[in-house]
A = this chain, B = another copy of it.
Amino acid sequence: MNDLIKRINHVAIVVPDFDASMSFWRDALGLDLAHTEEVPSQEVEVAFFPTGDSEIELIRPTNESSGVAKYLAKRGAGMHHIALEVTDIHAMLDRLKAHNVRLINPEPVPAAGGKLAAFIHPESANGVLVELYQV
Contact = CB atoms under 8 A, between A and B. Distances in A.
Interface of A: 1-2, 4-8, 11, 13-15, 21, 23-25, 27-32, 51-54, 56, 58, 76-79, 82, 84-85, 92, 95-96, 99, 101, 122, 124-128
Contacts of A96: 28-29
Given A8-B11, A53-B52, A54-B8, A24 B101 contact: yes
Contacts of A95: 28, 30
Contact of A7 (B30, B54, B76, B124): B54
Copies of this protein in the complex: 2
A89 B4 CA distance: 34
A37 to B, nearest CB: 19
B29 A84 contact: yes
A51 B84 contact: yes
Contact of A27 (B15, B23, B78, B99): B99
B126 A8 contact: no
Contacts of A126: 13-15, 21, 24-25, 58, 77-78
Given A30-B95, A126-B13, A5 B51 contact: yes
A2 B27 CA distance: 10
B51 A53 contact: no
